[in-house]
Amino acid sequence: MNLNELKDRAYKTACEHGWHEEEYSNEHFLCLVISELMEAVEADRKRMHAFRTPFEDFICRFTKEPEHAYKVAFDEYIKDSVEDELADAVIRLLDLAGLKGIDLENFNYEESHISDYSGLSFTEAMFGITKEITNGFTEDDILEEKIHSVLNEIFSFCEDMEIDIEWQIEQKMKYNELRPYKHGNKKY
């Protein structure tokens, strides 16, 4: 996975959809990452998980209107699931990295598995990741380190839980690209 390419794509999509028309603080953007993690907690409470095989089967069968089929399938089999919300958290971090011009080329999450999440409950794991976001300062000069650290934690968690986060990110980015401006008039 090329994080710089994903970063550029996430940032471009956010700009095209109006998410950077106003200037916000780093804390604002990091809070939105936390909100995605909390949405993942809610999805876990409701036992909502993505269904990859039915999703892929659905979009393969409908070729006349592929974008419409994609949106319908995503809404039915992936949207608001644990995996979807974790992908959203990563995309928000990538967007922030794009906004701040942070280079993610030298970050290799596959070899930086720090935490073992296998013995934690879902809520404990999300709390740990949230602590990584809120721990310390958020100024631009240390933001790069914080983004790398939080990405690492999310990727580590997904690896321990056998979540194919790369696939989930790709699906959510495609879905976001198909959404209306400001996703139907959200404030931020």
In a domain, 187, yes or no: no
Please check whether residue 22 lies inside any domain of the structure.
yes
Query: Is residue 188 situated within a structural domain?
Result: no
- Strand, coil or helix: 6: helix
Q: What's the burial of 147, exposed, middle or buried (CB within 10 Å: 0-12/13-18/19+)?
A: buried
Q: Are 176 and 91 in contact (CB under 8 A)?
A: yes
* Inside any domain, residue 146: yes
Q: What is the gyration radius of the CA atoms in the chain, in angstroms?
A: 16
In single-letter form, the type of residue at position 138 comes to: T
Number of domains forming the structure of the chain = 1
| pTM for the full predicted model | 0.93
Q: Please check whether residue 75 lies inside any domain of the structure.
A: yes
In contact, 44 and 122? CB cutoff 8 Å? yes
Domain span at residue 147 reads: 3-182
Residue type, 151: L
Taking CA 152 as the corner, what is the angle to CA 49 and CA 50, rounded to the nearest 5 degrees? Answer: 10
pLDDT in single tens digits along all 188 residues of the chain: 899 999 999 999 999 999 999 999 999 999 999 999 999 999 999 999 999 999 999 998 887 888 999 999 999 999 999 999 999 999 999 999 999 999 998 776 665 556 678 889 999 999 999 999 999 888 888 899 999 999 999 999 999 899 999 999 999 999 999 998 887 778 87
